[in-house]
Chain A
Amino acid sequence: KQEVTQIPAALSVPEGENLVLNCSFTDSAIYNLQWFRQDPGKGLTSLLLIQSSQREQTSGRLNASLDKSSGRSTLYIAASQPGDSATYLCAVKNSGGSNYKLTFGKGTLLTVNP
C-alpha cells in the first residue's frame, strides 16, 4: 500500500525567502507525481506534474524534482510571496491494472509573512 509523507507539516517564512517542501513515498513504482496547492475553502489546483521518467519540472518560481529510486520529491519555491501562503499537497499516481489511483500526503501548511 502506497504511503506518502510530507515534511514539514507547517512552515512559516518571511517574504522573499527561498524554501523547500519535501515529499516521500514508500512504493517507487509510480506512474507520476503531482504537487497541488489548496487554499482555504477551495479545491485543489495542480501546480506541477512529473512523469516517472522525468527528473524535474519548472513553472515560474516553482521547481519540483523527483528521485523515484529513493522515493523522494521536493518542491522548491523561489523568492516566496505572501500570495504563496496555502497548503501544498504531494500526490503520487500508481497503476493498479486499469485503475490509476492518487495517494495524497497530509500536506505542508505554508505561511509567508510580509
Chain B
Amino acid sequence: EAGVAQSPRYKIIEKRQSVAFWCNPISGHATLYWYQQILGQGPKLLIQFQNNGVVDDSQLPKDRFSAERLKGVDSTLKIQPAKLEDSAVYLCASSLDLSADTQYFGPGTRLTVL
C-alpha cells in the first residue's frame, strides 16, 4: 500500500513570498490532516479535513494560511505571505475516518523562510 505522499520535500523562500505544499493521502482515507512542526517542538495541528469539508481549523493562521481539499482526495496548503516564523516542517497525515486510531504520516516538507 502506498503511503502518504508530499511534495516538495524542501523549499527555501524569502519572507513575504508565497509557497504551496501538496499532499496525496492513502487511497480511501477520508480524513486528512496538516501539521506544523517547528524545530524542537511536537507537531501542531493546523487543519483537519473530512472528505472535502473542514472539521477543525482553529489553529490555522487564516490571515496568511489557506488549505483546500476540493475533490476530497489531494490537498494543498498555501502560505501567503510567508514570515520568518513559518520556517518549519509541514507534515500531512491521513486516516480512514475521524475516529480511526492511527494516522499515517507523510515525510513532510521542510520550509525555510529567509
Contact = CB atoms under 8 A, between A and B. Distances in A.
Interface of A: 4, 32, 34, 41-46, 49, 51, 89, 91, 93, 96, 98-102, 104-107
Interface string B70-110: 00000000000000000000010100001101110111101
A99 B42 contact: no
Contact of A99 (B55, B101, B105): B55
A105 B45 contact: no
Given A41-B107, A99-B48, A99-B56, A105 B42 contact: yes
A49 B101 CA distance: 8
A100 B102 contact: no
A106 B41 contact: yes
B107 A42 contact: yes
Contacts of A99: 48, 55-56, 98
